[in-house]
Amino acid sequence: MHPHFFFIPTKKMQISLLFFLSIIFSLLFSLPIHSFPTSSKLEQRTFIISVNHHVKPSIFPTHFHWYQASLDSLSSHPPKQVLHTYDTVFHGFSAQLTNADADILSKQFHILSLIPEQVRSLHTTRSPLFLGLEPSSTNTSSLLEESDFGSDLVIGVIDTGIWPEHPSFKDRGLNAIPPKWRGFCPSDFPCNKKIIGAKFFFEGYEATNGKMNGSTEFHSARDSDGHGTHTASIAAGRYVFPADTLGYAKGVAAGMAPKARLAVYKVCWTSGCYDSDILKAFDEAVKDGVDVISLSVGGVVVPYYLDSIAIAAFRAVQSGVFVSASAGNGGPGGSSVTNVAPWVTTVGAGSIDRDFPADVVLGNGRRVSGVSVYRGPDGLEPGKLYPLVYAGSREGGGGGGQGYSASLCLEGSLDPNMVRGKIVLCDRGINSRVAKGEVVKEAGGVGMILANAVFDGEGLVADCHVVPATSVGAANGDVIRRYIADNLKRSAMPVATIVFRGTRVGVRPAPVVAAFSARGPNPETPEILKPDLIAPGLNILASWTKRVGPSGLITDRRRAEFNILSGTSMACPHVSGLAALLKAAHPDWSPAAIRSALMTTAYTLDNQGATMRDESTGNESTVMDFGAGHVHPQKAMDPGLVYDLTTYDYIDFLCNSNYTTSNIELIAPKKANCQGAKRAGHVGNLNYPSISYVFVQYGQHKMSSHSIRIATNVGDPNSVYRVKIVPPTGTNVTVEPEQLSFRRIGQKLNFLVRVQVEAIPLSAGSSNTRSGAIIWSDGKHTVTSPLVVTMQQPL
């Protein structure tokens, strides 16, 4: 995808001119910016290069020519080529360079920074009903009707593309494409009034991996993976009936904003999602005129000025675009959350009140609970017990030095002579859950039980297996192993079967925090609570591509119009669609106001009236798991108060994060005056809907801190809010004033939160987190902010 050239009389004149310019350009005054490691000087990798675009010499007809001349001046072999140019959410270009090239390029006067590319990974219904968004329900008129189901709002989905012929993306009954839309669809891609944009970016992918395989990838925005089709339909799929996956989860499928338009930006390919392509997608999406960007992709957390997604999202939010991103699937471990920039709405995953039970019945009559979505030609005979073997044992083929790989049912690890005709118990880990079933099937096994590792706990994900299979928790995995071992000690054959019980609704408790959902604390800025909130992300039914079967395996010949997937990838587009509904109902709300409405109205109690549980342990979950809580669409429509933020607030935050002016200029296109910002407070003094304090115990017995929040009235013109304080255990919390009296909509009033703590016994390098809440109410609205206090003992 090359830029258009301007002012080029002839090809020969163009080459001569650019060669001449590149020689002159290489002699221009330079200033050192970076020094790159001396190792691997000849190894190429992709860099994203930030440029001071204002200083382009007028002799270059376009920025592309200028950037290419910068690369030509390197005189390296092979010649370097611009992969992408960026001019909306970022100014600069990307290119493959050696470290030696990067060192030289960084010294050119117009180069601000070189950011090494990250390779990101995907964070891979009944949910509208669970969220109260069924059009037949009495309370939906407040959100779906007032927002006209999201009509004329555009959601940009940055993912693996889309299957455009799916009935979820029909445009029947939709008005004309909004006149504000500046994007386009290629002439050979079947867009309509629902899918109004379809672009794909592969230059970063191919720079690292070579030419893509046309037999496995579509060289277009068409989805060969299924993930992008799934997430797009969660955000904005039309109503489709009947909908199911292999007979499971039968009903009506619909997205959060059924009339919203979709713009698709395909950046994820077989080997991952590359930063240079993601940045180009952001650039194009904002330029095209999207209202919301949905990104179910993540990677390693780095400082914001080195994070391409954080940089792109900042400029998008500055343009009024709401950006939601998945929190990641690294749970239940702490500090696993990703996409943590405070201008991004970070979404974790919870369950809904539906599951797919598939129990293991052991030969001793014990029934062990599990979950699965299986239907295929190779079903188990009802009532028959089959020989049962643990893949990691000698009897399962795990002898001969292959015990570990066999226990995980890795490819080629199972001995067919040991598993043929048997149900095989496999341990979770390394390869995908469904791939283990394929390994069992190829070795002649008739079924599989997939047991969680200790780290996974009791969290279960229902998969569309290619062999009769079910997933069980870590504790139940131990029960089955003991049963097998006890029988073998008595020289008895262990036997079992799997009973598939279909779809169960009305599950209690629900929601629970999904075991895989990434957790806080925020590894980059502990004073900003992340994730922000959770939304449905466990066993979600949504649209699917016709390119692959529901398991996602190449060998799966089944085809399904819908599929059931789990991940924060599925939670993120729920919030993206809800943001579109809120934006349609409140066009004047900023991205920060929308996030505030979603967070301050979120709930933390399940359908049994108790604090939401952590699926991995069964214990109560905490703010580090669910942030502000589970999204509540109806209440978010009318939150009463919001905590708004501007670009200048975020710049002050960066200043208080001790970023240099140069660091900040890579993120924000405005000059930062950090002297004034640092006088305004500390890093946690951002007008965020949650409030967090971190106290480092440097020998002090008593410590205190404070934060200022600014509440904007979006409820009733004449309203009085009174505060209720739920202090974290062992803290003294005050709020001044204790009453906020508003006289008009849009009025802003300040309040100060002061927290006093006493040191507690902690071992070196450890921490302790406690939480409470600040709750404002006028009798009609309840505006809740999590209040988090973390005590740290330095090393």
Report the catalytic residues. Answer: 159, 227, 569
Across 332-439, where does the E strand assignment appear?
A: 345-350, 354-355, 358-362, 367-368, 386-390, 423-427
Strand-pair partners of 450: 426, 471
The encoded tokens of residue 57 equal: 């010499």
Task: Determine which helix (DSSP H) or strand (DSSP E) holds 296, and give its type and residue range.
Answer: none
Question: In 3D, which of 598, 607, 608 has the Cα closest to residue 628?
Answer: 598
Question: In 3D, which of 201, 182, 170, 150 has the Cα closest to residue 576?
Answer: 150
The DSSP bridge pattern shows strands 641-642 and 702-713 to be antiparallel
Task: Determine which helix (DSSP H) or strand (DSSP E) holds 673, and give its type and residue range.
Answer: none
DSSP per position, 461-480: ---B-SSSEEEE-HHHHHHH
- Alpha carbon distance 661, 653 (integer Å): 12
- List all residues 6 or more positions away from 699 whose beta carbon is below 8 Å from its beta carbon: none
Cα dihedral sign for 44, 48, 52, 56? Answer: positive
Q: Count the neighbouring beta carbons within 10 Å of the beta carbon of residue 453.
A: 12
- Alpha carbon distance 622, 613 (integer Å): 9
The encoded tokens of residue 679 equal: 């006088």
What SS3 class is residue 88? coil
- Alpha carbon distance 464, 330 (integer Å): 22
Question: Which 3-state string (H, E, C) describes 680-693?
Answer: CCCCCCCCCCCEEE
Residue 171's φ and ψ, nearest 5 degrees, are -110, 15
The DSSP bridge pattern shows strands 386-390 and 495-500 to be antiparallel
Amino acid sitting at position 731 = T
Question: In 3D, which of 178, 157, 98, 173 has the Cα closest to residue 293?
Answer: 157
C-alpha atoms less than 13 angstroms from C-alpha of 620 in its C-beta half-sphere: 9
The encoded tokens of residue 487 equal: 């029988």
Task: Determine which helix (DSSP H) or strand (DSSP E) holds 14, and give its type and residue range.
Answer: helix 11-26
Alpha helices in 245-358 (DSSP H): 275-288, 308-318
CB 693 within 8 A of CB 788: yes
- Please give the C-alpha separations between residue 436 and each of 17, 359, 367, 391, 780, in angstroms, as whole numbers: 59, 19, 23, 11, 53
What SS3 class is residue 144? coil
Cα dihedral sign for 653, 658, 661, 662? Answer: negative
Strand-pair partners of 708: 752
- Please give the C-alpha separations between residue 197 and each of 169, 235, 544, in angstroms, as whole numbers: 12, 15, 19
